[in-house]
Amino acid sequence: MSHSTGHSELAEKFANNVERMNWHDKALWFVRLKRDNQAKSLDEWEELRSTADKIKKHTLENLANYLEEFEKNALSRGIKVHWAKDAKEHNKIVLDILNSKNVKMVVKSKSMLTEECHLNPFLEKHGIEVVDTDLGERIVQLRNEPPSHIVLPAIHLKKEDVGTTFEKFLNTQKGNSDPTYLTRAARAHLRKKFLGADASMTGVNFAIAETGGIVVCTNEGNADLGSSLPKLHIACMGVEKIIPRLKDLSIFIRLLARSATGQPVTSYTSHYHGPVEDGEMHIIIVDNGRSNILSTDKYKKSLQCIRCGACLNTCPVYRRSGGHSYGYTIPGPIGSTLAPSRDLKKYSTLPFACSLCASCSNVCPVQVDLHQQLYLRRQDVVDAGYLSPAKYRVLKMATWLMSHPRIMDFAGLLARKIVPLLPRSIIYSKINIWGKSRELPKFPKNSFKELYKAKKGSK
């Protein structure tokens, strides 16, 4: 990896374990099918998607006003509101609040924003224990790995991996990898943490400008139990989490779980509008590059994302390359357009981790034009000169060939005559990177042009 995260190199590592790759592919496709069943069961599905798109579009166009309205209403409810320009400021605000209450242990529920800000290592460096409480997040935390999916953090692992991890950290029976047994063990382990925590942190699914409250959706009840026991609750949100009205939730709540896991709704949809008795509730509103994305007409729609993960589940590349191959907090199609906003050079290979099949755009509940954005990102990468030299040379050659039709016809003729006669060792030699894990199709006798002429002539 010379100048980028190199998606294809990392993907190759993942794909080397063919059995594991096929399992991963199937497991996610199953989630996609569950999503399809839910979508098909509602005649109004497309109307929900287009309404969600309109609400988000309008909100982003008036974002500053809605943020101010949200802040005003939250403050009047006794919620403390903080603003952070970037990850560094966000982490400092969190640390200052925790220190002011002398917090030693914090229970945290899933928040891609705190992952983005690398909050855990920062707090640990300052002597605060952070316990991720979503089961999947806890598993990857114990293994010292990042989540590989935004909704299913441990989807890259098999139950045997979880079994050995719990054996080591939770003293579970050796060799027992029964999911029920392991889940019960985690329940007991995390109950102690919930009861012993001095503070809780959660993400935010939706922040309602009209009421000044936030909504968090979980199946496990971890954000909910975690935030209702200690006196201190800190919720972190990106600026784009705002929705104007309470009733807008009817659209988003109907779409979110159906798109994410194929459930009609999550087990818990908690609406926080103030602290627990004698407690404090803080909300940190974070920019960290989001206003930059807002300034780009081509990419601002990516801020509509509600982090359901449907585009990951459907993506043929994600399913076969795994979340860790993206090298960014958010993998899959949405991550491949968000990451280059942050650092085009570092993430220059991600827009190419895509077959442009457009399935992501088709399943997106808020109609983000994902494949279109990835197509445009590729052009940015080429314009900035970040394309890998090999790819650059091949494309240059192709451009030249295609702008010389006669030579192109001749080259095609040669290829049709010669390639079928060549031994595999030459066709699939090192130079042919395309053929590394692909087979060439059978070469036809005639070119398309010849076939077309013949067909036209016969009429």
Partner 1 sequence: MSSRDIILKSIKDYAPSKSSELPNINISHASYENINEKFSTSLSSVGGIAVFMENIEEIKEYIAEHYADSKVIVSNCENLLPIVTKDANATKDPHALHDVDLAIIEGEFGVAENGAVWIMEPKNRHRALYFIAQKLIIIIPKNEIVPTMHEAYEKLSFGTQNFGLFISGPSKTADIEQSLIIGAHGAIETCVIFI
Fill in the DSSP letter of residue 91.
Answer: H
Fill in the DSSP letter of residue 329.
Answer: S
Tokens for 159, please give them: 């139950």
Specify the residue, 288 or 349, whose C-beta has the smaller distance to partner 1.
Answer: 288
CB of 171 to partner 1, least distance (A): 17
CB of 145 to partner 1, least distance (A): 14
Specify the residue, 122 or 166, whose C-beta has the smaller distance to partner 1.
Answer: 166
Residue with the two structure tokens 């494309």: 395
Specify the residue, 116 or 220, whose C-beta has the smaller distance to partner 1.
Answer: 220
Which residues, in sequence order, are CB contacts of 295 under 8 Å at separation 6+?
none
Residue 271 φ/ψ, nearest 5 degrees: -110, 105
Specify the residue, 115 or 224, whose C-beta has the smaller distance to partner 1.
Answer: 224
Q: Give residue 311's identity as a one-letter amino acid code.
A: C
CB of 84 to partner 1, least distance (A): 6
CB of 3 to partner 1, least distance (A): 29
Beta strand 206-208 with 213-218 is antiparallel
Residue 210 φ/ψ, nearest 5 degrees: -60, -35
SS3 143: coil
User: How many Cβ atoms from other residues are within 10 Å of residue 348's Cβ?
Assistant: 26
309-346 as b/e: b if 16+ CB within 10 A: bbbbbbbebbbbbbbbbbbbbbbbbbbbbbbbbeebeb
Q: Is the dihedral of CA 338, 342, 343, 346 positive or negative?
A: negative
CB of 218 to partner 1, least distance (A): 8
Specify the residue, 216 or 363, whose C-beta has the smaller distance to partner 1.
Answer: 216
CB of 30 to partner 1, least distance (A): 7
CB of 426 to partner 1, least distance (A): 44
Specify the residue, 261 or 348, whose C-beta has the smaller distance to partner 1.
Answer: 261
Specify the residue, 74 or 381, whose C-beta has the smaller distance to partner 1.
Answer: 74
Q: Is the dihedral of CA 52, 57, 62, 68 positive or negative?
A: positive
| Residue 235, beta-bridge partner list | 202, 283
Specify the residue, 43 or 439, whose C-beta has the smaller distance to partner 1.
Answer: 43
Fill in the DSSP letter of residue 442.
Answer: P
What is the C-alpha to C-alpha distance for residues 20 and 5, in angstroms, rounded to an integer? 22
CB of 8 to partner 1, least distance (A): 27
